[in-house]
Amino acid sequence: MKKIFTILLLALSLILLTGCKNPVIDEKPLIEQVKTNLEIDDELSEITLPTEIDGVIITWQSSKPGLITSNGEIIKPLIDTPTFLTATLSYDSKIMTKIFDVLILGDMTVEYNIDYNKVQDVVNSLTFEDYEIIDDIVLITTSNNINITWESNNDTILSSAGVVTRPADGENDALVILTATFTYNDIVMHKDYTFTIFSLTTTVIYFGYYTGADNLLGEELKAFLHDLIDDHTVIPYGDLWVALSNSDKDPSNPNNIILFYTGVSISNLEHGGNVGDWNREHIWARSHGDLDDYITDSDMHHIRPTDVMMNGKRGSLDFDNGGTVVYDGSIATDNYSDSDSWEPRDEVKGDVARMLFYMAVRYEGENPSLDLELNDLVNNIHTPYIGKISVLMAWHLNDLPDAFEINRNDVIQSYQGNRNPFIDHPEFAQYIWGTY
C-alpha cells in the first residue's frame, strides 16, 4: 500500500511541474519578439513604416541617402531604386537591428524610366581624353538621338563651341567649366566638365640647331621643323648594317647591338634573314604609304635593329595598348599584340612615339616623298597614316628620352646631318599636336 501511494505522489508531482510555465526560461524578451515579427513589403511606395510597437522604439535608415526619414517616412525617388533599410530597435537599454532588402518605387512611368536610363547612359559615357588643353576641342551635339548643348562659364577662354583662346604669355593657366545639357523628350540632365587651358608658351629662346623656333605652335612649328630636318644626307640601304651597329651599340659591349623589341644584346655581325639574326625594322611600317623610295626606306631615325622573328610578328601593325603577350620562340617578351596593333615593351614606348613624330614632320609630300601623318586609328595599312596618336602621346610623356636615345640622335646626325627634334625638345610634340 505504501509503495502504491509513493507512485501516485510522484505522478501528481510530475503533472504539477509540467503544467507550470517558467516566464524567464521559455519567453523571449519583448524586443526579440518585436524583431522576429517585424516584416515589411519587398516593394515600397508612399508609406510610413512603424516607429513603435508595444513600447519598442524603431528608427529607420537607408543605405542610399534621401529615401527614408528616421521616423519611417518613405521619400519617393524619381526612378525605382533598390536599397537596404535598417531598422534599429531599442527597449529597456537593449538595442537590436534588422535589415531589409527592398525596392523603393519611383514616380516614373515605365516608358519614362526607359528614356531616363537612356539619357543617363549617354551622360555617363561622355568623357574627354584629356582635360588639360591648348587646342580647340570637339563638342558633340547629339548622341543616340539625345540633344546636347554646351555653355561655358568663361567664353573668352573656352567658348561654348569648344574654341580655345589661350591666356596671354605670362598669365596663369585658366580653369573653365563647360556645362553640357542633355535633352530627350521631357528629360533634361546636366553635367559639368572642368578644363585647364594652358597659357601661351612663356618666351623660350632656342639656340643652335633650333634657333628660330621661339614661340611657334601648331602648323607653324611643324613647318619650321620640317624645313630644319628636310633634305638630309641619304644613306644607301645596304650601309645601314654598319650605321645601325654604331647608333644602337651596346654601351657595355661595343661589338654588340641592343635589339629594340627585346632589349637583348647580340653581336653586330649576326645580321641577315635567318632565325637568331637581327635585321632592319621600319618603325613606320613600309606598307603605311608604300614607302618604297630610297629616302624614307633608309632613314635611320625610324629604323631599329630587331630580332628577325620579332620583326615578322610586328609586321605592319599600328601601335596601341593591349593584346596578348608576344613570344620570341619559346621566350615571353614584354611586348603585346592583337589583330590590329602592337604594344612594345615599356622601355621603348617613348622611342616609338618620337620616331613616328619625326616621320610625320620630315615627310610632308615633297617629291619624291609621301605626306605621312599620324591619326588616332588602327588598321592604317596601305595608307600614309599610322596610329594611335593619343596612345603615342601618352607613351612619349611617360617615357622621356634616356641617354641611349640621346646618343643615338647624335650618331644619326653624324650620318644624315639631321636630328630628331622630339628627342632634343619633347615639348614640341604637344606644341604641334596638343595633349590628346
pLDDT tens, position by position, 300-357: 999 999 999 999 999 999 999 999 999 998 999 999 999 999 999 999 999 999 999 9
Tell me how far apart the alpha carbons of residues 258 and 339 are, in angstroms, rounded to a whole number.
27
Tell me how far apart the alpha carbons of residues 241 and 77 are, in angstroms, rounded to a whole number.
72
Same domain, 405 and 377: yes
Same domain, 270 and 397: yes
Tally of domains within the chain = 3
To 5 degrees, how large is the angle CA 110–CA 111–CA 117?
A: 90
Same domain, 164 and 213: no
The pLDDT score that the predictor gives to residue 365 is 87
Same domain, 244 and 156: no
Mean pLDDT rounded to a whole number for the chain: 88
Residues 292-297: what's their mean pLDDT?
A: 78
Tell me how far apart the alpha carbons of residues 426 and 397 are, in angstroms, rounded to a whole number.
8
With a cut of 80, say whether residue 90 has pLDDT above it. Answer: yes
Read off the pLDDT band of 177 (50, 70, 90): very high
Same domain, 274 and 348: yes
Same domain, 89 and 114: no
Model's pTM, two decimal places?
Answer: 0.58
Same domain, 394 and 311: yes
Could you give the maximum distance between any two Cα atoms of the chain, in Å? 136
The pLDDT score that the predictor gives to residue 282 is 96
With beta carbons less than 8 A apart as the criterion, state whether 167 and 197 touch: yes
Same domain, 37 and 85: yes
Task: Evaluate whether residue 230 is within a structural domain.
Answer: yes
Q: What is the domain range of residue 240? A: 208-433
Same domain, 45 and 119: no
Q: Which residue has the cell 641619304?
A: 234
With beta carbons less than 8 A apart as the criterion, state whether 269 and 281 touch: no
Read off the pLDDT band of 108 (50, 70, 90): low
Read off the pLDDT band of 45 (50, 70, 90): confident
Same domain, 322 and 268: yes
